[in-house]
């Protein structure tokens, strides 16, 4: 072919491609998804937001965000098996951030399962696991650090036979529901309301080691969403709903491979807060996006709503039953929920109800960059519940369950039964599992030292499995720990119990300043299981209370920090230092 004919042929191809009659040969079909045309299907008009709410953004766009939050390697190199952790809270960031910024936390800020998930545990697994779930058990007798009384503990190790190299999440239908209400315009590290429920401007904030301290909750939330989107594949579906006084569909639920995700990220970073907060409207519209997708094959697809909010509703249905009811109904239809709390004034009381629901979990954000890195490590696990309706029956005349640590359903335990709604996959490093432990505090009723433990659970398809184990408890003297896993669990449960009792006592003294009552914890009775007190907060609108530590608790924290540091050294776990820092801060407050 001469040059004239070649030029003509090239021109003809270009014309046909421009007219749509001929596809670009570089365009391919990927899992049935046509990637030849990327859609910008964003529907929300961000210019409707008030101009005042746009202050402080500093011209940040998605390209700048991506440069400042480089993607880290997602998961550890494939090796051994994965483990499990319970549903519910996946951190206690809100607890620590309130103390760091000189605010008094609320009791629900520190959950046992959230605290456990910050650490790795030796689960006591002695045999190879070849099933989906293989519980293991270890025993301890430990003296209370204040009263010196002997206490009995049994740990349940959460092991799995699934190889890390074989684990792969299912395709995902994901709807993100984002709070854009007026309270999201407030500073990330400051409260929106004072202790009397009035709008406030509080300049106290901890700037140390947090580059995000000047950002608003809206900025942090938007950046967190953009970071999440990097973990979606072409054959995943993604949609987005925004809510303030009402709900608005920002993006229909469509295949990622057909979407111009860069433009979607740009749109998300342009969102500004406004209006009131009607969380139920956001959840309702988010649920509606799934349509007929509730009939999907659970072996192929996951349905999940990720709900980001500062949890300060003030319009419409604000009781826990409203949002709780929708979330529970969704779980029954195979639509599971993840809640992500934004800001130090995020009300964890609301989420404490919701995360007891099947398939639900909760994270809090205290830095957009750190949250992005965390999702690089955990996103695959966060959206993939694998074990449901875990129930343990304790068959023993000599013992009963006094308290369960490490499960959001702990209050549902009776003297002989422990329940956990959901287990999620969890990372294993050096034969230790992140959050891979549930701890039972036992009450000894007789010299009988044998236990029969009967476990039942369901997989994601509803198939039931059963497991029974007979345990002979050795006649040991305190302090006895079968392994480091249960020793760490006992240490952290005592730490959380002490903190919850302190919070309850301090908040009751705020609510009833004339009332003089003995503190819940002292050197005679030791660290008791906390008794929940009636909330003194507005209905889900959390007010600030300055950090307060009475002289009695300062002395207890000082004494407990010595015990904590000794145990930390015995466990050879420097990651526990963050809790020791909290104890020392409170002891010196």
Q: What string of pLDDT tens digits covers the 589 residues of the chain?
A: 555 544 444 444 444 444 444 444 334 344 555 545 789 999 998 665 443 333 333 333 333 333 333 333 333 334 589 999 999 999 999 999 999 999 999 999 999 999 999 999 999 998 899 999 999 999 999 999 999 999 999 999 999 999 998 898 999 999 999 999 988 988 878 877 766 666 654 444 444 445 666 789 999 999 999 999 999 999 999 999 999 989 999 999 999 999 999 999 999 999 999 888 888 899 999 999 999 888 888 788 999 999 999 887 766 665 666 788 899 999 999 999 999 999 888 888 878 888 889 999 999 988 888 888 889 989 999 999 999 999 999 887 788 888 999 998 877 777 778 899 999 999 999 999 999 999 999 988 887 777 889 999 999 888 999 989 888 887 888 899 999 999 999 999 999 999 999 999 998 887 777 666 789 999 999 999 998 766 544 555 678 889 999 999 999 999 999 999 999 999 999 999 999 999 999 999 8
Q: Which of 296, 297, 323 is nearest to 311 (CA)?
A: 323
Provide the β-strand partners of residue 88: 361
Report the CATH number of the 122-166+386-485 domain.
Answer: 2.60.40
d(CA 195, CA 507): 11
CATH homologous superfamily of 30-73+170-312+321-382 equals: von Willebrand factor, type A domain (3.40.50.410)
Take residue 323 and report the two structure tokens written for it. Answer: 């949002």
Q: Where are the domains of the chain?
A: 30-73+170-312+321-382, 122-166+386-485
Per-residue pLDDT at 321: 65
d(CA 523, CA 194): 35
What are the two backbone dihedrals, phi and then psi, of residue 554, each rounded to the nearest 5 degrees?
A: -60, -40
d(CA 89, CA 87): 7
Q: Is the dihedral of CA 227, 230, 232, 238 positive or negative?
A: positive
What pTM does this model have?
0.86
Take residue 524 and report the two structure tokens written for it. Answer: 């005679």
């Amino acid at each position: 072919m001469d040059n004239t004919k070649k030029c003509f042929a090239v021109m003809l191809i270009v014309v046909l491609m421009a007219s749509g009659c001929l596809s670009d040969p570089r365009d391919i079909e990927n899992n049935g998804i046509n990637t030849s045309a990327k859609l910008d299907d964003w529907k929300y008009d961000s210019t409707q937001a008030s101009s005042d709410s746009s202050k402080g953004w500093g011209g940040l766009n998605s390209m700048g965000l991506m440069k400042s939050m480089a993607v880290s390697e997602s998961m550890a190199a494939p090796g051994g098996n994965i483990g499990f952790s319970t549903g519910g809270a996946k951190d206690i960031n809100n607890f620590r951030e309130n103390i760091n910024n000189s605010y008094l936390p609320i009791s629900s800020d520190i959950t046992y399962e959230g605290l456990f998930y910050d650490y790795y545990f030796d689960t006591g697994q002695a045999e190879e696991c070849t099933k989906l779930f293989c519980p293991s058990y270890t025993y301890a007798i430990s003296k209370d650090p204040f009263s010196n009384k002997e206490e009995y503990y049994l740990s349940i190790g959460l092991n799995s036979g699934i190889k890390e190299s074989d684990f792969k999440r299912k395709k995902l239908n994901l709807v993100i529901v984002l709070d854009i209400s007026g309270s999201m315009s407030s500073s990330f590290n400051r409260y929106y309301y004072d202790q009397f429920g009035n709008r406030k401007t509080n300049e106290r904030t901890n700037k140390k080691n947090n580059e995000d301290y000047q950002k608003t909750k809206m900025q942090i939330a938007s950046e967190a969403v953009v970071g999440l989107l990097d973990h979606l594949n072409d054959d995943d579906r993604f949609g987005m709903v925004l809510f303030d006084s009402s709900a608005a569909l920002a993006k229909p639920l469509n295949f990622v491979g057909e979407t111009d995700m860069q433009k979607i990220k740009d749109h998300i970073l342009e969102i500004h807060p406004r209006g009131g907060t009607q969380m139920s409207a956001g959840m309702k519209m988010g649920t509606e996006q799934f349509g007929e997708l509730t009939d999907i094959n659970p072996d192929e697809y996951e349905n999940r709503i990720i709900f980001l909010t500062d949890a300060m509703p003030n319009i419409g249905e604000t009781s826990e039953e409203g949002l709780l009811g929708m979330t529970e109904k969704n779980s029954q239809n195979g639509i599971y929920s993840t809640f992500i709390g934004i800001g130090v004034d995020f009300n964890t009381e609301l989420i404490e109800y919701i995360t007891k629901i099947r398939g639900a979990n909760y994270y809090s954000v205290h830095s957009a960059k750190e949250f992005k890195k965390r999702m690089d490590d955990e996103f695959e696990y966060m959206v993939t519940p694998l074990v449901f309706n875990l129930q343990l029956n304790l068959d023993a005349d000599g013992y009963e369950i006094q308290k369960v640590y490490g499960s959001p359903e702990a209050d549902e335990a009776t003297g002989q039964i422990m329940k956990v709604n959901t287990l999620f996959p969890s990372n294993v490093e050096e034969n230790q599992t992140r959050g891979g432990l549930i701890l039972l505090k036992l009450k000894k009723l007789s010299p009988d030292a044998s236990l029969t433990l009967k476990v039942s659970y369901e997989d994601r398809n509803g198939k039931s499995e059963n497991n029974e184990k007979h345990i002979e408890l050795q006649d040991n003297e305190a302090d006895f720990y079968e392994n480091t896993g249960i020793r760490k669990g006992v240490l952290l449960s005592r730490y959380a119990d002490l903190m919850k009792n302190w919070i309850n006592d301090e908040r009751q003294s705020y609510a009833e300043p004339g009332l003089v009552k003995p503190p819940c914890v002292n050197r005679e009775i030791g660290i008791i299981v906390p008794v929940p007190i009636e909330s003194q907060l507005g209905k889900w609108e959390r007010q600030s209370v300055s950090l307060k530590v009475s002289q009695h608790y300062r002395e207890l924290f000082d004494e407990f920090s010595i015990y904590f540091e000794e145990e930390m050294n015995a466990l050879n776990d420097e990651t526990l230092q963050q809790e020791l820092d909290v104890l020392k801060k409170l002891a010196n407050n």
